[in-house]
């Protein structure tokens, strides 16, 4: 196993999966608040998600996903099929994260453009 490719692989996996921790934590907190306070609605859920996304920052998420994708693409090797599977799943996760963040940003820009 090549040491450089192993480091690239692990950095790619960590950078790919790490941005999902705060949104899921924020969603869990929001759902717990909803059940505890008996309040429902999109506002409660969006507050939890907004807290988590502000913490990481949109640009840092996109930068981390781009770096993860580069590391993961460079870590592919013929002799390691399991690493290739994890790399492929992580690359797909990185792509979906970028699409989700960019989509939310576009929707916010459309909303604010209509308001003014």
Average pLDDT, the chain: 79
Q: What is the pLDDT of residue 64?
A: 83
Nearest to 12 by CA among 79, 88, 81: 88
User: 116 vs 102, which has greater pLDDT?
Assistant: 102
Flag whether the pTM goes above 0.75. Answer: no
Strand, helix or coil for residue 57: coil
Residue range 29-81, pLDDT digits in tens: 767 776 776 655 666 567 666 766 665 677 778 888 888 888 888 888 788 88
Q: Above 60 in pLDDT, residue 1?
A: no
Q: Is the separation of the CB atoms in 19 and 64 below 8 Å? A: yes
Residue 110 has pLDDT above 60, yes or no: yes
φ, ψ at 39 (rounded to 5°): -110, 140
Closest CA to 54 of 23, 91, 86: 23
Structure tokens of 73?
Answer: 């693409």
In the chain, the number of structural domains is: 1
Residue range(s) defining the domain that contains residue 94: 3-115
pLDDT score recorded for residue 92: 92
Quote the tokens at residue 40. 């429902």
Has residue 90 got a pLDDT over 80? Answer: yes
Question: Which 8-state DSSP code applies to residue 19?
Answer: G
Is the model's pLDDT at 116 over the cut of 80?
Answer: no
């Amino acid at each position: 196993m090549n040491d450089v490719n192993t480091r690239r692989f692990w950095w790619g996996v960590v950078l790919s999966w790490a941005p999902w921790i705060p949104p899921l934590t924020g969603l869990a907190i929001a759902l717990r608040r909803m059940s505890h306070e008996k309040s429902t609605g999109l506002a409660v859920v969006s507050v939890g998600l907004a807290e988590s996304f502000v913490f990481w920052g949109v640009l840092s998420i996109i930068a981390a996903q781009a770096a993860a994708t580069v590391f993961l693409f460079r870590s592919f090797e013929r002799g390691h099929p399991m690493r290739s599977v994890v790399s492929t799943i992580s690359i797909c996760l990185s792509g979906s994260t970028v699409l989700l963040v960019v989509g939310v940003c576009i929707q916010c820009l459309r909303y604010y453009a209509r308001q003014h």
